[in-house]
Structure 1
Amino acid sequence: MQLVQHDERFSSADQITPDDLPALAQAGYRSIVCNRPDHEGGAAQPTSDALRAAAAKLGLQFAYLPVKPGQITAADAEAFAQLLVDLPAPVLAFCRSGTRATSLYQLARSPATAASAPAPAVAPACTWDDTTYDVVVIGGGLAGITVTASLLRRQPNLNVAIVEPNGHHDYQPAWTLVGGGAYDVKKTRRPMASVIPPGAKWIRAAVSRIEPQANVVHLDNGQRIAYQSLIVAPGLRLAWERIAGLTETLGKNGVTSNYRYDLAPYTWELVQSMKGGTALFTQPPMPIKCAGAPQKAMYLACDHWRRSGVLSNVNVEFDLAGAVLFGVATFVPPLMEYVKRYGANLVFSSNLVAIDGPSRTATFEVKDANGNATRVAKHFDMIHVVPPQVAPDFIRDSQLADEAGWCEVDHATLQHPRYPNVFGLGDVASAPNAKTGAAARKQAVIVAENLLAARAGQPLAYRYDGYGSCPLTVERGKVVLAEFGYGGKLLPTFPLDPTRPRRLMWFLKASVLPRFYWSGMLKGREWFTRASRG
């Protein structure tokens, strides 16, 4: 439990359990408010009734005011303000991460609802950045850096700040090649300071909360920064912890993943040392970044084993949580040819839920045609794991989130539907496109043009068509370049059959795109963006 005291009458916390209540009572809390809807997190989440019963035994008052992420209403704020009046203090309110409880408290204290709420006895410990920025960009990944560069190319006098805690910037698309022995991992990482566009201020901190109704971003260092326009591009979060036992065994016991800088080289070590046995490759439920990456790891491994003459000794299995090999049907036949060539066994509706590294056992939840789930344990000699992927917590529990937790945007303009000075792009955006770097490259132009139009009070003329690209490395030296938009519509850049594996596309993937990334995209050069007006 992570508890934050806002003043002497009120604190917020992430999810609590009945076992936490005695300590809270001993600490002096007299009332508990649950802001998390029942069954939001599955069976592991205690119900409000269970917490109410446990609280009653300790003499604690309990109130249930559930709100969904991103859907806090004025009525919710008023009800919360009334609870702060009615309930004996100190009050502790909680939700999944504590953000919704905090947002309700902030809204309850706003002028519109604060009349009936008690004034705080102690002011929150926060500091203000003296500047109100024209634009604040959350995220220093491809999406955040590219859109900032695009904005400053159009209006160099903009006062722009990028909020990013990491000291390095990674070229993640190459990690699949690293795991296949075809790229040096050291070439995928550069200092963050080297990619920050000239003219932008880098604020090295993490976002803890966004108050879009107040145009304020809260940082984990206690600082608050104000903005006129906000761009949300923090990427997504790799939820390793959602697979039981995984974090304890990553990087050893034959357990690896190309989704992390330090693990991609371990993938190649395992592939090289594998002379026989069972190799499992997994893919979690969508959405994930680069939907083709899980199978690309399998293809490159199998190609190495084929070239080394040991493929016949390796039992290769690809466990997918979904029901199809690839989301765009046009590309399934050429991919199936490689699945057959490598003798890989496809297991659909099979989701990795637990792993025991020392015993080399992976447990899958497998669903039949009727949706009935069973647990199946499988032995492995090596396993390539793709973790479940979710929006960052400060987005999931914010006013900006949709019901699934992603930053809600209009699918064409990428503008937030309730906060017109907020735009989102990249992996965190709710648009139903493939979460790829190529998508962010196209989206950056749309956001730059539309945000400047919104600031000028002009119509948003540019539209995003859902473009995404997935270079499917089916063997070392050949790639199927899948380019598509909304609804699986093919959007090829080159006048060639896109389903045919080509050496040209391998050259593009392994040599051209990395250079274009560092010297083109991150510099705001918008080659082949094909941004269109509505």
Structure 2
Amino acid sequence: MSTHHQVLIIGGGTAGIMVAAQLIEQQKLTQVAIIEPAETHYYQPAWTLVGAGTYDFAKTARPMASVMPAQATWIKDRATGFDPANNSVHTATSGTFTYDYLVVAPGLAYDMSLVPGLGEALGKGVVCSNYTDARHTWEVVKNFKGGTALFTQPTTPIKCGGAPQKTMYLSDSYWRKNGVREKSEVVFATAGTVIFGVPEIKKTLMEVVDRKDLNLRFGYQLKKIDGPNRIAWYALADFAAEHNHKNVKTERDGDLTGIHFDMLHTAPPSVAPKFVQDSPLVNAAGWLDVDHHSMQHKRYPNIFGLGDVAALPTAKTGAAIRKQVPIVVDNLALLIKTGKLGTMSYNGYSSCPLVTDYGKMVLAEFDYDNKFIPDPKLKQLLIKDSSKEHWRLWMLKKYMLPYLYWNKMMKGQDV
């Protein structure tokens, strides 16, 4: 295996595969290699639906070999470190690889130590997460017989910021159909100040929250989980507030407030992978330090980064990656040909498909300024206002987006 590549990509997730496929298909580059240890590639956006019993987990997985572009070199190993001064990347077992250009897209990692007790409790009993095992979430939701259902998230950035509340909306729907909801209180505890940062979407979601009679708790910073006693412990911010108050069992311990739960769903605390955090490529917060618009590294001009690992002030979603990829590809191709970047610029576009019920969805598309920027193509689907719940948006999430992902995005076509 050649140890030098014109373009070396770290990560075989959505970002890495899309960049490789577009460089090969659209830019006709021939020396592209991808470092990725996993045998399986997952379509993670469907895990919300798996956790609600309305999507087959097996259909979210495909062999990595089936999405790896045929002309790319697959280095089946994991990256362990960077030496940007010498244009090289170290791997666990295959030695060192050098590059002319590097694209860093390994996604994020989970650090359970940031919420003590979560690692021991997660995936067992009534503590679940669609992020780590959506099939277990569905078991927990199905077996819930009443009491306090607590939905929460850590204070770190997470993949798809809307996912923890989507799970709550679908679980609430399921329990209503099955006569469990009247014996339950449903609580959403978040460190944030609002249910969603885009005003048009916030308005719709607050209507959903009131229709479902959900207790929202803002300014609740998750600190630790007591799995055996089923208590989630929070520090409360100065602005802590409640909406639709419910008398669920709570207790105090010093400065912390504990909420007793009968089932808990959370996202795991998320960080950049350790080999990225320990490198000279990160900012003070430990995320890959790239320009917010060109996606070029701020200190090493032949390095680009995108996807969940990138330090970008927008939501970490596959939809964001879909808009980041063409910018990286254009800039990289022009840099190779002319030594200069192009004029394409990423505006922070991200999108959260917020499933609010079985058969209903809102599509939050927004930019760095939290401006609502719906795709004009939605008009072709006869969707006039994607900030309102619509069954056609549910069809988009469940059927159209997975199809476009596997058959277009993974193949290097513009979507």
TM-score (structure 1 length as normaliser): 0.72
Q: Is the 8 A contact 1:245 1:355 kept in 2?
A: yes
Deviations 1:105-148 (A, max 9, x none): xxxxxxxxxxxxxxxxxxxxxxxx64310000000000000110
Displacement of 1:435: 0.8
Query: Is 1:419 equivalent to 2:289 in the alignment?
Result: no
Q: How far has the Cα of 1:370 moved from its partner?
A: 9.3
Q: 1:484 to 1:411 in 2, by over 3 A?
A: same
> Which moved further from structure 2: 395-404 or 418-427?
395-404
Equivalent residue number for residue 346 of structure 2: 464
The structural deviation recorded for 1:477 is: 0.2
Give the 3-state SS of the residue equivalent to 1:284 in structure 2. Answer: coil
Deviates more, 1:453-462 or 1:309-318: 453-462
User: How far 1:419 moved relative to its partner?
Assistant: 0.9
Q: Secondary structure at the match of 2:364?
A: strand
Cα distance between partner residues in 1 of 2:214 and 2:29: 55
Please name the residue that 1:439 is paired with: 320
Distance 1:285 1:243 in 2: 10
Structure showing greater relative contact order (alpha-carbon pairs closer than 8 Å, 6 or more residues apart): 2
205, 211, 231: which one pairs with 2:83?
211
Q: Does 1:511 align with 2:381?
A: no
Q: Is 2:386 aligned against 1:498?
A: yes
Other-structure match for 1:234:
106
Matched residue SS, 2:203:
helix
Aligned partner letter, 1:428: V
Pair 1:335-2:205 in alignment? yes
Inter-partner Cα distance in structure 2 for 1:356 and 1:431 = 33
Cα deviations by residue, 1:27-46 (Å, 9 ceiling, x for unpaired): xxxxxxxxxxxxxxxxxxxx
Match of 2:158 in 1: 288
| Structure 1 residue 441: Cα displacement | 0.9
Partners of 2:2 and 2:70 lie apart in 1 by: 21
Offset of 1:222 from its aligned partner?
5.8
Aligned to 1:323: 193
Q: Does 1:378 pair with 2:259?
A: yes
- Percent identity of the aligned residues? 49
Query: 2 CA distance for matches of 1:169 and 1:157?
Result: 23
Aligned 1:65-104 pairs, distance under 5 A: none
- Residue 355 of structure 2: which of 452, 467, 473 is its match? 473
Q: Could you list the per-position Cα deviations for residues 386-426 of structure 1 after superposition, in whole angstroms to 9, with x for gaps in the alignment?
A: 11111111212212111111111111111112111111111
Distance 2:300 2:228 in 1: 50
How far apart are the structure 2 equivalents of 1:268 and 1:187?
Answer: 16
User: Which TM-score applies when normalising by structure 2?
Assistant: 0.92
What is the identity, as a one-letter code, of the residue corresponding to 2:372? L
Unaligned runs of at least 5 residues, structure 1? 1-128, 528-534
CA distance in 1, matches of 2:368, 2:63: 35
How far apart, CA to CA, are the structure 1 residues paired with 2:266 and 2:312?
Answer: 26
Letter in 1 for 2:373: L
CA contact (8 A) 2:4 2:97 kept: yes
CA distance in 2, matches of 1:489, 1:347: 25
Shift of 1:253: 2.3
In structure 2, what is the Cα distance between the partners aligned to 1:323 and 1:287? 15
1:272 to 138, 142, 158: 142
Q: CA offsets per residue over residues 31-72 of structure 1, 9 Å max, x none?
A: xxxxxxxxxxxxxxxxxxxxxxxxxxxxxxxxxxxxxxxxxx
- Residue by residue over 1:219-259, the C-alpha shift from the partner in whole angstroms, topping out at 9 and shown as x without a partner, is 12261000000001011112223211122222222010000
Paired residues of 2:331 and 2:342 also in contact (CA < 8 A): yes
For residues 309 and 180 of structure 1, the distance between their equivalents in structure 2, rounded to whole angstroms, comes to 16
Distance 1:431 1:244 in 2: 27
What secondary structure is seen at the aligned counterpart in 1 of 2:101?
strand
**Conserved? CA contact 1:296–1:473, under 8 Å:** yes
Q: How far, CA to CA, are the matches of 1:232 and 1:416 in structure 2?
A: 10
Q: Which ranges of structure 2 fall in alignment gaps of 5 or more residues?
A: 242-253
Aligned to 2:126: 254
The CA distance in 1 between the partners of 2:153 and 2:341, in whole Å, is 41
Contact 1:135 1:158 in 2 (8 A): no
CA RMSD, Structure 1 to Structure 2 (Å): 1.6
Q: Secondary structure at the match of 2:324?
A: helix
CA distance in 1, matches of 2:29, 2:296: 23
| Distance of 2:22 and 2:86 partners within structure 1 | 26
In 1, Cα distance between the equivalents of 2:216 and 2:255? Answer: 17
Distance of 2:309 and 2:391 partners within structure 1: 33
Matched residues in 2 for 1:425 and 1:368: separation? 34
Matches within 5 A, 1:46-61: none
**For residue 310 of structure 2, what is the aligned residue in structure 1?**
429
The equivalent position to 2:92 in structure 1, one of 206, 209, 220, is: 220
